[in-house]
Chains A and B, each alone.
Chain A
């Protein structure tokens, strides 16, 4: 029994790490650029396909392909921000919502056309292997994904805290006008933020590839969890999103284990609603970032 609980918590934590990469991207974009990126899941999907093709065509390990997916998606993010998002930023939210939503639909249908709806899987030597101890097990692929996800989140946090660009990003998100009066170029800062968020999505894609199949709809599975985590962890709060993602992974896993296999999300939503009743701004409280 105790073993089962510990195993359920391990399972939850491991998948929570992936939720974290997706939700941190969403919360970063929201915090800095002040828009909700509905297409974040589709960028995870693109990251998965890049890793898949690098692995099957060139034999590059999906985890190693991180060094390709992250820069590629960073550039994509900068371009998307510069040519699309920048033009609809303004007092009215509607064009932004429609823009990212349309982007999501476009990428989804484009990938259906290019890659078909087939599931594509990569087999690595560690894909179906696990580390066993004391009756518990930790799959290698998920452990690697978790560790890399936490490391990347840590790097992002250090970047936002210590570097000039990171501080400029936080400043621009707090007050765009004042920041530009202080000599910060908001367009540049927004482009970097969007690029970073997409690079994280790409990383999530590469890390998922050894144990998940790539298919055009795969991003939508993760983006729902990401949105809940972003609100649960207080909009715009990177640490909040991280903690919320891990908690949600554990809640989902325990829910499946002890409530019912179709009740994982139910438990997550109950936790979500209860948190909002007592802390309407989410776990991060009133403190954003």
Chain B
């Protein structure tokens, strides 16, 4: 069947295609005019408002709750507590619940009198207006039997343990490749360093929200701010004991998520139960303060990395240890070791995790979970070793370039890291770097250059899409994906347009509804590759049907042609040997009195054209390439900082990122995404830190006034480029995804630039002025 396209090929200038082009966002107009509805903006008949009251204490038992004053307030319909919340069919920590719902919900507030963390919901007030519900919530009086909480692994009383698995059971608590300890002991160059990372919160612009509408006693619609409608649907159906199809989840637009909307969280099911209790649709939007305890965070953590190397800077051993805080019910730790194991050629490796249970809401995926803090450790250590051995930081990375995946010996499906280094260095002017640390001064500023490598895996994922092509020349394309705001609507419109031979204005792409074909969570950078491949494969099914129709149609120029001799050019089917002979789909469909035609497709990880699956339909049964190649994106960041020589304030003054992530679907949205991720990383590097009081285990800066994220004045012009890759293995579109890689290595690039500027190494994120000033004084 070599006549069938197995891989998307019509890209690029001259082909007339729009994939890869910097198309403006198709949803831009709706967003700026307010027509786009975010999840809390769907009007409902008889809608009432839910407001959560959080626990004042971090550990203990609820002795009593006095709701009298709250209930007396005008407009108040209900005050739900653990004493009167409607019972769930299955709790999240039941065996069924654990399977369907995931770790963050291992403990569900309002189902017992236990308080595990400060801010834990202890009551949910429902009233006819948001203001009345908010005020009534402040009148709920809770008596606690408070116990002394534990705030973090750093508390001397913390009991550390080695988990068998971390991060939802996905990563081993202990990993070993060769004898790293022995190799380390024998290595001529040794480097040991300890890195700490502050608690970070995602803080998407749009907070978490749920609008729960019981359409019938056994039929529910939820408008939810989530990165994964399928996961939300499954978890709610399980907890409520409803068939999956009786629960509909809608998420049309998201104002960011960064991982905090990638799981099910308590407020969703609590709102659903509140709607049941008051028999009205209920809307609940988390406050900014509640976002700090309602949807996870990046955990506080310490990493110690020991490296053994030759005097030429070639790695011999990597030994990594991580200690972090987790919640009383979960074993979440970001898998930092993954990238440390993978980034460079090194014959031996060992990693271990230690956790302490503290009185905190559980931590969760935060943009590049594991890769972001893991890269901080290894990329700072590599920089140190380079400095110690008098090797240029870029050169030491080239000396340790991994030509195949060091973790399993597999070849890469594609890797263009060398090109990223070269292009980034050229754009940045890396060759002008002064080899001496702390030797470049401009007035009151010390100037430094830093760089770091980025990498992120292409995760195993699959999804489905449906294409409906109409005889009048337009198409509706659907997939139950979500658009975090990064451009899913736009890039899928482009893919559908090119695969169907239409202009983008003739394509409507629909997403964000569990009634649509299922798609994966928009997380782990999988949406771009999986959904685009699904669309592509679905479009191929449409063309197959049309070709069959044409060759059986006496009036078609293609009548009696062999199926394999017919190829598609734009919106026409033509003979491969004589491209003049053929017709467009509209003529064919109209003649056959066919108003529309539908195809579905299954986009799969590992199903690129070399693996022979891409053209197959959902059930074609081809083998994919999951076992054959290691699939990762790579990139490099280059950073210039100016450090105030007295105050230690650090400002990033130049930035260059070059990434190779397979096919780039839209040059403009991709650039924006990389810029966004880099700024996210600069925030983590220089200012983001949630402070948990050591005595109260309660956050002290749960607001955007006190939790600093970068403002425009902190960010320079950013240069972003891509190295285009044609990866024949990952998926039908050859798309690796760019959601996470943009922030991997960023904090290291900044820290390395600070090191170059000052000659002092700060290993404790964020790199605030006090730490730099302190380091410079030593």
Partners in one complex: no
**B interface list, Cβ under 8 A from A:** none
**A interface list, Cβ under 8 A from B:** none
